[in-house]
Every structure is written in structure tokens, then in C-alpha cells.
Chains A and B, each alone.
Chain A
Amino acid sequence: MRVAIASGKGGTGKTTVATNLAWVAARQEKSVVYLDCDVEEPNGQIFLKPIADWRKPVSVAVPKVDPVVCDLCGMCGEICQFSAIVCVGQKVLVFPELCHSCGGCNLVCPLLAITEVPRGIATLMAGHTGSLRYFQGLLNIGEAMSPQVIRAVKAEAPEAELVIVDAPPGTACPVVEAVRGCDHVLLVTEPTPFGLHDLELALETVQSLEIPCEVVINRAGLNGSATEEFCRRKGVEIVAEFPDSRRVAEAYSRGELASEKDPEMRDRYRSLLTHIEDST
């Protein structure tokens, strides 16, 4: 079973929910795989503290033009939708960071002057802690193509009883890439106007992918009624609430797992896990 933890708004507690669920499941001796797909800012390892045992660069294919063969016909620039290759004057210029690796320029070149060469954009890392297997992608600074890296993280994941996908924030292509193919999505929100507004957007995204989803309210306490009312109206179930607590926030700041230290939190995560298992 593959469960994605997502949210529209950043900082609502995706990683908190994802790491605690993974930890609780691993304690029950289930085979658990954790995929940190927030490749721009992966933080799962801060809480799960895996021992790294594997690394691999992620590279994408970008064009390389042989100037001796090229007759400057300009067809490569014509097919490219991303302005990653252009023919100007007496030269073909390649802008690798704009390239989507579709291979169009390579296919279209009548003189076979274009070859594809790998370009590193990120590093994958895997590690373990107990029965939990951890994977993350780390996008290189200055690179824009996080969806490719997310795809690479997901491609490495072995089968397991429970696969947890920690998704990036937002509602655009990186989130879609992370959530695609999952059996279930938990949307983490906080009961504030920003949290609610972004929950609405995130729900729309997940529903457009036709994946069953439920809501988790983090920092519950103040001002929750609007979120509850919204979920009722949309027919989305609120499956867990975690109370707003300064103690929890402080423990988080130190990189501690709430369910490891606090039996009450552990019980809450255990019942959330049971609920997910029963519903899929």
C-alpha cells in the first residue's frame, strides 16, 4: 500500500505525520519504505535518522551538438518547446537547465549531429533504521526540474507492506508527480484561514487525480470549525487531529519524533495507521 502525505500550504506538518506514521508502522515490524519526495527540502532524515548505505546521482539526458556535423538547419530549435536549444547565427546554443529531456532535437536532426549526454541534477540517498527503508532525493542548488527527481526516487522504491510518500507542498507538477500512483492521500492542514484556503486547492488537485483522500488536522484547537464545515461540505473525512502544543513544537524543533517520546501521540498515530490499513 502506497500512502502519500501532502498539503497545499507548507509547514502544516506533512513530514511530522509521515515520519511518525512510518515509525509507528516499523515498530509493529511491518516492512516500511519511506520516500522523501520533497526533493527541494527533504527533512524526513532529521526525524528518522537513517544510516545511509547507498547513493546514486540522478541525471537527465541533455543534447550535445557536434559543430562539425551540424549545418545550422535550425530544426532542433523549431521542435523544442522549452527554448532549451536554439540556432542563432552561426551557432547552436544549448541551455541545459531548461531542457525537459524529451529527445525531440535528437530525433529531428537530419544529420544526426545531436547526441544525448547525462547531466547530474540531484543525488538519491537510501538508508535504513530498523525495518524501515528510507529513500530521498536532493535537488542540486540552482536546478529547477524537481519532478524528474521525484520520479527517480519513486522508481527506486522496493515493494513493502507500507510505502509512505512525503510530498512537497503546493498543488503544481511536483506534487502531482509525488502523489501519482498512490493508493491513498492524507492531506495535512492547520485550522487557520491560510491552511483552509490551501486545503481547498490541494483537495482539488488530489481529486483531479482520482485518488481517495482524507484530512488530518494538525495544531488543532483554535478556530477549527471552518475546516470541519468545509470537509463536511466536500464529503471528505477528517481522520485524525493532533492538538496544538508548544511542547510538540519544541520537540519538533530538536528533530524528535513525537510518537517515540510521547505515549499519547503514539496511540494517536497507531490508530491513524490502523484506519489507513482498514480503508484500503
Chain B
Amino acid sequence: MKQLVVISGKGGTGKTSLVASFAALAGRAVLADCDVDAADLHLVVQSSLVSRNDFSGGKRALIDGDRCTDCGTCEDLCRFDAICSDSSTFSVDTIACEGCGVCVWFCPEDAIGFVDTIDGEWYFSETRLGPMVHARLKAAGENSGKLVSLLRTEARKAARIRNIDLVIIDGAPGIGCPVIASITGADLVLVVTEPTLSGLHDLERVIRLTSHFGIPTKIVVNRYDINEKIAVQAEKHAQKLGAGFAGRVRFDPAVTQAQIWGLPVVEHSSNGAAADITEVWNNLQEAFDEDEFYVSEA
């Protein structure tokens, strides 16, 4: 089984549009939308929901007002300013609470309970391109990294059961917790960048992240014709950092049109950006076929 992860560093560079098109070009794959803060893949692959499951990211403290003697120990010990006291009653700010359990442990009156939180939901859906796992983190939800790991486990499980040998993962922007959770153990990372100074800055950081974890990386420059000079700079820079080149995709209003129609770009049209994406996909296929990504790295 091969796991391809599409990430970007900078947001809005076109990850999801590429993932949907890759799924269409692959014909059969398991899809995992790991951008759990803002999952959009379901909007362009016409999915039907099969199951809905709660996700618990951790626990929260809960003060029992009847047992609390207002001693203030919890407030003294909490490092997250999550204990609110007005005059004499103590309560927990559930948004600030980190779920560390220190107040629960040290409350002399045993007045603090520790309850599982529901931080979101995850879903199993069917699409005509293959099964898809996706999620919705609750507003202000915690522990997106744990949710990403859960989705990836479910995606691999689905791939094994159905005998599908490709998992395509739509990752989150940034380089933090959910991104790390989406790339660890993957076979290939494709970084989608744009030819802007911001894109260039973020590209460097995200490639450093993938090489920190020893994962083979290729880049694609989306909307390259917005600034060809920076596009070339990005490609050269990526090469210097050890990332391969998977191709360029031109700026094309058809990408947004496809989104409005709820279709992968390559199913909406066949020239322009769609042709470029097909070429990028062929390059990735070749790379997989050559098995160049199975070299284990230190």
C-alpha cells in the first residue's frame, strides 16, 4: 500500500483541488481528508455518508460546586488560566482547559471530575472514486493531531479490507501538530506551492519539516504563471533542499468553476490546468512505479 500526502505550508495553494483530481485519475483509491479544521474534499467528490462517529480528543475538568470548599488549590496549580473564580465560586473555562488533570488530582476535597470531551466527529463515506474518511472538528476543538492519526488508521484499514493499494491524504496547512500527524510514515509527500514570496517562505519550512522526518518529497508549483520568476526560484530552491519536481499547473479559472460544479478539475475540463494536473499525476505515478520511494531513510 502506498500513502501519498498532499500538503502545502501556506494555505489556499490548491491541495484539495489536486487531491480530488488525483483520485479521479487513479480511478480507485482510499481518500483521507486530514485537514480536519476545514475539510473541503467532500465538496468535490460527491460522497454519501456511511457512518458517523464521535471523536474524543481528551478530557476536561469539571468542578462539583456542592463539594468545592473554595480553597483555591486548583486556581493556584493551573498553568492554563482555566480556573475562573468570581467572588467565591470556582468553575472551569472549558476552552482554556488543556485537560492535564492536575487540578483533578490535587483537589483536597475530590470535588473535580474528569470527563471525556467530544471534540468532533469523523465519517466514513463512499464516493465513486473509492471510500473516504473525513472529519469535522468541533468549533474550537482540541487535539486535531490525534484526529488525523485516527483518520489515517481508518484509511489504511479500508485499503486493506478492500484491497486498494493507494491512500491519498489531503493534509492541513502549516507545519504543526496536524501536519506532522498526517505525514509520519507516508511514502511520498507532495508539497503544493504558489509562486509568491509568502509561498516561497512557507515552502522552505515545509520541506525542512518533511526532511526532518525523512519522508521523500516532491513539489508542484500551482498558478505558476502569476509570477514565473518566483516559480523558477521555488523549483531551484526546492531542489537544493532535496525535494523533487513533479510539475507546474497554470492559473486557470476552470479550477474554481470545477469547485462550483462540485467536480474534480480533471472531470470538469481536459485542457488548461486539467492537462497540467494530469501530467503531474503521471510524474507521481512514474515515481511510484520506479519504487524510488521505498528506500528507507535514516
Contact = CB atoms under 8 A, between A and B. Distances in A.
Interface string B213-241: 10000000000001100100000000000
B9 A205 contact: no
Contacts of B100: 81-82, 100, 102, 104
B162 interface: no
Most buried by B among A104, A173, A180, A208: A173
B58 interface: yes
A20 interface: no
Interface stretch (A25-33, A65-73, A229-237, A249-257): A249-257
A88 interface: no
A130 to B, nearest CB: 21
B95 A41 contact: no
A46 B201 contact: yes
A65 B144 CA distance: 29
Contacts of A115: none
A190 B40 CA distance: 14
Interface in A77-110: 79, 81-82, 100-104, 107-108
A174 interface: yes
A40 interface: yes
Contacts of A194: 16, 40, 43, 259
A170 B178 CA distance: 11
Given A10-B10, A141-B208, A250-B227, A104 B102 contact: yes
Interface residues of B, number: 67
B49 interface: no
A171 interface: yes
Interface in A186-230: 190, 192-194, 197-198, 201-202, 204-205, 207-209, 222-223
Contacts of A175: 37, 140
Given A142-B209, A176-B95, A253-B227, A208 B140 contact: yes
A40 B98 contact: no
Nearest to B15: A10
B145 interface: yes
A9 B101 contact: no
A81 B139 CA distance: 22
Interface stretch (A51-59, A143-151, A157-165, A266-274): A143-151
Contacts of B199: 253
Contacts of A43: 10, 197-198, 201-202
B106 interface: yes
A40 B195 CA distance: 19
Chain A: interface secondary structure?
loop
Contacts of B208: 141
A173 B16 CA distance: 22
Interface residues of A, number: 60
A139 interface: yes
Contacts of B95: 176, 180, 208-209
Contacts of A144: 145, 176-177, 180
B137 A172 contact: yes
Interface string B128-144: 00000000110111111
A259 interface: no
Contacts of B80: 102
A269 to B, nearest CB: 19
B180 A41 contact: no
Interface in A113-164: 139, 141-146
Contacts of B253: 222
B176 A40 contact: yes
B137 A171 contact: yes
A63 interface: no
Most buried by B among A40, A249, A255: A40
13 contacts: A8-B38, A10-B11, A11-B13, A41-B198, A81-B58, A81-B59, A81-B99, A102-B79, A103-B79, A144-B176, A172-B141, A176-B95, A198-B38
Interface of A: 8-12, 15, 38, 40-41, 43, 46, 79, 81-82, 100-104, 107-108, 139, 141-146, 168-176, 180, 190, 192-194, 197-198, 201-202, 204-205, 207-209, 222-223, 246, 249-250, 252-255
Closest 4 CB pairs of A and B: A10-B11, A11-B12, A170-B37, A102-B100
